Amino acid sequence: MAEAPEHVECLIIGSGPAGYTAAIYAARADMKPVLYEGMQPGGQLTITTDVENYPGYPDGIMGPEMMDNFKKQAVRLGTDVRFGMVTKVDFSEEGKHRVWVDGSTEIIAESVIISTGASARWLGIESETRLNGSGVSACAVCDGFFYRGMDVAIVGGGDTAAEEASYLAKICNKVYMLVRRDEMRASKAMQHRVENTPNIEILWNSETDEILGDTVVEAVRVHNIQTGEKMEFPISGFFVAIGHTPNTDIFKGFIDMDDQGYIITKPDSSKTNIPGVFACGDAQDKIYRQAVTAAGSGCMAALDAERYLSHRKSVPA
Ligand code: NDP
């Protein structure tokens, strides 16, 4: 006979800064949160090195260590942190949100906080994976500082790539922007800005063949897709800005999302279209995408969930 599903007051899905901050607040509010860590425990920060822009760490901190601290704080305050991946949900009955972990274990949650984050898109070449964290990064704001005065390259032609190229241009000596077509997807204003920044060189119709270097990035080899011409130039940092994908597939059909899959929350809140289901962090934010903003929205989600649960308790069913 199948085991009866476990009942949980507050279920948190995802273990980045948003999820752990929600857990810290939910635990302190006695909501007995259960948090499932997901596929990448600790989230995107576990693949970065130094974090220098999170307030409270005057000397910076390594990304994995910071996430370990988030976890320790959430556990110390009473969060039940579990290793496991939520694979399916059914949010059709209010107050009885059904969630399946690792394909089988069923949980019934009174409230759910979605903090599943987003994943950077990557080019998919071998050297990109090998040198990730050793010169290859998907976040200029996080890692650009380490390349002060050096030459770097950034791939992409959207608003993120254009914005990050401008950001890098203020720090670095030279920025090569590798755009795969002969035009950019970025807004005209952003295009204008990069085209008028003297130390940004745009290489049109350019595709990356390989990032070169044994242990750190030393150069990049690209080819022009129209002429076939190959070019190799020395760089110290290689940034990938070809978009992010929110990790929200399992919620499709229940939760309202925009056309890119980002969860839509009601203005000035973390409420989704389903009462009792809240969203925070990069799964719902495509604009700021910073650890500190994710943590702030995780706090909002826990406060919203607490109010929701208190209201349910005070109003007879
Ligand atoms: P986008 O999807 O808008 O752009 C992705 C870019 O990467 C495109 O230029 C695309 O090329 C290119 N690309 C995709 N795959 C590859 C590949 N394999 N190799 C090389 N290039 C590739 O993503 P963004 O992250 O830039 O933006 C996401 C959303 O966020 C957009 O709606 C954007 O407007 C918004 N945004 C707004 C900002 C603002 O308003 N300040 C700032 C940042 C983002 P191609 O065009 O050929 O497909």
User: pLDDT (tens digit, 9 = 90+) per residue, 269-278?
Assistant: 999 999 999 9
Q: Distance between CA 189 and CA 10 in Å, rounded?
A: 44
Q: Distance between CA 241 and CA 120 in Å, rounded?
A: 8
Ligand 1 and 164: CB distance under 6 A = no
Tell which CATH classification among 3.40.50.1220, 1.25.40.80, 3.50.50.60, 3.90.1300.10 matches the domain 6-119+244-314: 3.50.50.60
**Percent above pLDDT 70 for the chain:** 98
User: Starting from the edge strand earliest in sequence, which strands make up the sheet with 219-224, in order?
Assistant: 206-212, 219-224, 230-234
Residue of the CA atom closest to atom 43 of ligand 1: 160
Please determine, for residue 165, whether its predicted confidence score (pLDDT) is greater than 80. Answer: yes
User: What is the dihedral sign for C-alpha 9, 252, 304, 19?
Assistant: positive
Residues 6+ apart with CB under 8 A from 298: 17, 18, 19, 20, 21, 22, 23, 25, 113, 115, 280, 281
pLDDT band for position 47 (50/70/90)? low
**What pLDDT shows up at residue 1?**
55
**Percent above pLDDT 90 for the chain:** 85
Ligand 1 and 180: CB distance under 6 A = yes
pLDDT tens sequence across 224-267: 999 999 999 999 999 999 988 999 999 999 999 999 999 999 99
Please determine, for residue 289, whether its predicted confidence score (pLDDT) is greater than 80. Answer: yes
pLDDT band for position 160 (50/70/90)? confident
Dihedral angle, C-alpha 223, 118, 54, 144, nearest 10 °? 0
Residue spans of the domains in the chain: they are 6-119+244-314, 122-240
Give the chain's mean pLDDT: 94
Ligand 1 and 286: CB distance under 6 A = yes
Q: Hey, what CATH topology would domain 122-240 get?
A: FAD/NAD(P)-binding domain (3.50.50)
Q: Which atom of ligand 1 lies nearest, measured to the CA of 162?
A: 26
Q: Distance between CA 97 and CA 149 in Å, rounded?
A: 52
For residues 204 and 119, which has the higher predicted lDDT (pLDDT)? 204
Report CA-CA distances (Å) from 60 to 52, 100, 123, 176, 260. 4, 38, 29, 28, 33
Least Cα distance to 244 among 135, 150, 159 occurs for 159
